[in-house]
Structure 1
Amino acid sequence: MTAALRSPVQALCRHDDSAWVKTEVAGLEVQEVAHEGSRLIVVRQRIAERPHGGGKRLLEVPGYKFQALRTNLPASTDALAVWRRYNGRADIENRIKELGTQFGLKGLCCRSFWATEAACHLAICAYNLCVGLQRRLGSTSRAELVNLRWRLFSCAAVFSHAQGRATLKLAVATQRARSWWLALLQRFTQPDHLCDAVDGLHARSPRHRVVSPTSTA
């Protein structure tokens, strides 16, 4: 798991070059210490060589980004392997956080264990439906529920049969928003939209990640 870059960890970040161990990844160095019964691994990445590397900058140490990881993996798993393992599942932590803050996962504790499990699965299902919807809309970047609610779900509308014709009137003010809604509705009128929406729930994408119940374990 990640460790906050508080003062004790920042002190490690300020160590001189002799305290850092170079790795096979260019521009990435590590140091490791024992901390509260576990291994604390501090990673620094040289921005000039790894401009897109993750981590935080410190004003006192320009030119680098830093990360701290705490693990109970044995010493046979070296620091670089721990870093790579964390990167492979780092986005899952963001999805778990999103499920807790926006889909109510933190407040779904019921008296019965099985009721709690059913509520959690329902929240995950709602998340996956939102992901499938975004795929169907052709979105190139993932939007969280709060953004979908503001942009899509909260749009006022009236459905009527004016002159015998089904009509949907949307309260959309700007021309840009109208163009977005027209493109959206055209996609949903395509005959294969239901099949694509279902298939999208099973697809994998780095921008739109479907969460399975086991992902929250």
Structure 2
Amino acid sequence: MEETFNEALKDKRVGLVRADSGFYTQDLLDYLEGKQLNYIMAARMYPNIKNTVWSLDNWIELTKGIELNEMIFNHTDGKSRRYIVIKKKVEDRPKAAGKLLFDDLPGYRFSCYVTNLDLPLDQVWNIYNTRADCENRIKELKEDFGLDNFCLKNFWATEASFRFIMVAYNLMSLFRHFALNHHNRATLKTLKVYCFALGAWTVNHANRKVLKIALNTKKRPWMDGLFSQINNLSPPFCFIPNA
């Protein structure tokens, strides 16, 4: 986490840190608060958290099958923090995420998040849920860029390979954003078929090197538009990706 903030994000302003329960530790929460960063983090359902959730009353119904609540909780020798709890009725929300915590409530799943944001319960939950798209990016890195298909003998060689894959992914993201006018709808497999894996050759014409691309008639206007879009660009690029 320190490397992420000190290197990758050293020139960036971070408005919010969202993290799953794998990051839920007192040290990390203290670290984020020490840097005065806002955060929403999924909490692990330790027995003491479960007991506190069980004692909650006055649930707020957000919509059919979903109720919200909050609590101030602290672990032993820990700081008191705000926790948002979501209760989902399985009968109404059979695909709802969360854990079945209580034998006495078998029809309900629970999720719990710790945050330092002073926002309404539903806003905190909605803001956290927007992180779901990052799982699609991880899936794309694995399936299209081979992120999980290599492991070199030397740790730092593996690290270097990983970072070059990230560079390749970022280049494709820039291409999608500026040439295709969207950020993540076209995967690398799609781009290969439509943009890269095309029959082509170069010729000299009027003392200039010309690229000839084999395209059917229907696809030529689309490709002309793509090159026109690129020709209108010049660095430096200002790129703000979607959340």
After TM superposition, the score normalised by the length of structure 2 is 0.52
What SS class does the counterpart of residue 159 from structure 1 fall into? Answer: strand
What is residue 234 of structure 2 aligned with on the other side? 193
Q: Is the 8 A contact 1:100 1:106 kept in 2?
A: yes
Structure 1's 29 and 158: CA in aligned 2 closer, same or farther, altered over 3 A?
same
State the AA in 1 paired with 2:210. Answer: T
What is residue 188 of structure 2 aligned with on the other side? 145
Q: Distance in 2 between matches of 1:163 and 1:154?
A: 27
Q: Does 1:174 align with 2:211?
A: no
Q: Is the 8 A contact 2:204 2:210 kept in 1?
A: yes
For structure 1, the 5+ residue unaligned runs are 3-20, 32-40, 45-57, 207-217
Q: Distance in 1 between matches of 2:87 and 2:61?
A: 16
Q: Distance in 1 between matches of 2:235 and 2:178?
A: 9
State the AA in 2 paired with 1:205. Answer: N
Deviations 1:103-155 (A, max 9, x none): 11101211111111111111111111000011111423621111011111101
List aligned pairs for 1:1-217, cutoff 5 A: 23-27=60-64, 29=66, 43=88, 66-70=95-99, 77=114, 83-84=125-126, 86-140=128-182, 142-175=185-218, 177-190=219-232, 192-196=233-237, 199-200=238-239, 203-206=240-243
State the AA in 2 paired with 1:180. Answer: W
Q: Distance in 2 between matches of 1:187 and 1:75?
A: 45
State the AA in 2 paired with 1:103. Answer: F
Q: Is the 8 A contact 2:87 2:111 kept in 1?
A: no
Q: How many pairs are equivalent? A: 157
* Aligned-pair CA distance for 1:42: 6.6
Q: Is the 8 A contact 1:69 1:83 kept in 2?
A: no
For structure 2, the 5+ residue unaligned runs are 1-19, 22-57, 69-85, 101-109, 116-120
Structure 1's 144 and 119: CA in aligned 2 closer, same or farther, altered over 3 A?
same
**More divergent stretch after superposition (141-150 vs 82-91):** 82-91
Deviations 1:142-195 (A, max 9, x none): 2111101111110111111134333221111132x10111111112223x4343
What SS class does the counterpart of residue 97 from structure 2 fall into? Answer: strand
Q: Is the 8 A contact 2:65 2:93 kept in 1?
A: no
Runs of 4+ in 1 over 3 A off after TM superposition: 21-24, 41-44, 73-86
Root-mean-square deviation (CA, aligned residues, Å) is 3.8
State the AA in 2 paired with 1:29. Answer: I
* Aligned-pair CA distance for 1:29: 1.0
Structure 1's 183 and 65: CA in aligned 2 closer, same or farther, altered over 3 A?
farther
Q: Is the 8 A contact 2:147 2:162 kept in 1?
A: yes
What SS class does the counterpart of residue 172 from structure 1 fall into? Answer: coil
Q: Distance in 1 between matches of 2:220 and 2:112?
A: 58
After TM superposition, the score normalised by the length of structure 1 is 0.58
- Give percent identity, aligned residues only: 29
Structure 1's 129 and 43: CA in aligned 2 closer, same or farther, altered over 3 A?
farther
